[in-house]
Structure 1
Amino acid sequence: MRADARKRREHIITTTCELYRTHHHDSLTMDNIAEAAGVGIATLYRNFPDRFALDMACAHYLFTVVISWQEQAINTFPTNPARVWTSFNQTLFDKGLGSLVPALAPESLDELPEDISALRQTTEDNIATLIGLAKEQGLVHANITPGTYILGLITISRPPITALATISTNSHAPLLGLYLSGLKHGAMATSIGKHDEHP
């Protein structure tokens, strides 16, 4: 692939990721994406024959970026655990993980192409490593699993509901601090036994 064609393809992918971060996936058409990327619809389809191909290209790009962040965090963790842990989570939070993951996830993980599935496994392995390092430093409670951590981060990094944004300016940002603090204390049991019930 020529350098200019490769650059155009990469621009389409990064533009699409930004659109998915700020708009609901199903609200966007291929025409919307082509217009935002500044390319003709024929050029878009020449690079990505259908929406699934474009989504998987975005997923490949994002997994690769996240893996690079993970590896950097793992390698620098011993230098300043608290700072590295906070910075890593802040980066994922700021990049809109809560919007991008649902937008790019297929109905079943079995539908992921082999190369994307391998990247996903690498991110999971890296997260397990990071969670282990954070537990050793008292930054994450022993009962927090990698799955719980990921689901929690995805949930809090979703864009705030527009109507609620009027309650407080920048009301979404403090959620990360609350979440990281909660990780230190662990998951609290929510079921109430008979001996705990009130009449």
Structure 2
Amino acid sequence: MRADAARRRQRIVHEARRIFAAHGGAVALETIAEASGVGIATFYRNFESRAALADEVALSILSDIQEAAAKALAGIHDSPAGAWESYVKRLVTMDLGALTEALSGFVRDEMSAQLRDAQATTLIRVDQLLAAAHDAGLVRRDISALELIIAIGMITRPLPDMLHAAAPDLREKLVEVFIRGVRPGT
């Protein structure tokens, strides 16, 4: 793939991820194409269907989770609490709850091999970080990578505007409760 075509495809995925998080998975593909600065024909040359785009967005999310885990793992020996808390907070910024909800309509009975492999690699990397966080006394042993990611997804599910307005700092408070709640002895 040419460099400009790869950048264009990445821009479409980036915009789709942003728009799916903000507006859900049913948003018009034309909206994503327009936000990406491409026409709908170019969009369909890159993604033959909404499901194909959803798969690519999922791969992008998994890649970001892996990268964040690798960065935290690299820093956990120098600053265990800082690396762990930064990782959890980085997951929160990924809008996992909103994206999971947006992409859930595209889940098929059989995942593509590429998506299945990326998911497995992600869970391994996060488990490695969890083991290091446990060794540093920051996380109980009974927390799995999948449970961590699901918990962050639950914390980051979008609230109706009325509830968000009533409790605008709730997400941050829940993240702090989560970080304290996974410590050994809690």
TM-score, structure 1 as length reference: 0.84
> In the alignment, which residue of structure 1 is the partner of 2:21?
21
> In the alignment, which residue of structure 1 is the partner of 2:6?
6
The worse-fitting range, judged by mean Cα deviation, of 143-152 and 68-77 is 143-152
> Any idea what the Cα deviations from partners look like across 1:67-95, whole Å, max 9, x if unmatched?
11111111221111100000011111012
The worse-fitting range, judged by mean Cα deviation, of 45-54 and 110-119 is 110-119
CA contact (8 A) 1:25 1:103 kept: yes
Larger radius of gyration: 1
Gaps of 5+ in 1: 188-199
Q: Does the residue aligned with 1:25 lie in a helix, a strand or coil?
A: coil
| Aligned-partner Cα distance in 1 for 2:49–2:185 | 43
| Aligned-partner Cα distance in 2 for 1:156–1:186 | 22
Matches within 5 A, 1:49-198: 49-105=48-104, 106-108=106-108, 110-184=109-183
CA contact (8 A) 1:140 1:186 kept: no
Q: Does the residue aligned with 1:173 lie in a helix, a strand or coil?
A: helix
User: What is the aligned length?
Assistant: 185
CA contact (8 A) 2:76 2:83 kept: yes
Q: Does the residue aligned with 1:79 lie in a helix, a strand or coil?
A: coil
CA RMSD of aligned residues (A): 1.9
Gaps of 5+ in 2: none
Share of identical aligned residues, percent?
Answer: 30
> Any idea what the Cα deviations from partners look like across 1:74-123, whole Å, max 9, x if unmatched?
12211111000000111110121112233335435x52211111110011
> Any idea what the Cα deviations from partners look like across 1:169-193, whole Å, max 9, x if unmatched?
3332221111111111578xxxxxx
CA contact (8 A) 1:160 1:172 kept: no
Detail structure 1 runs of 4+ shifted over 4 Å in the superposition.
none
> By how many angstroms is 1:159 displaced?
2.2
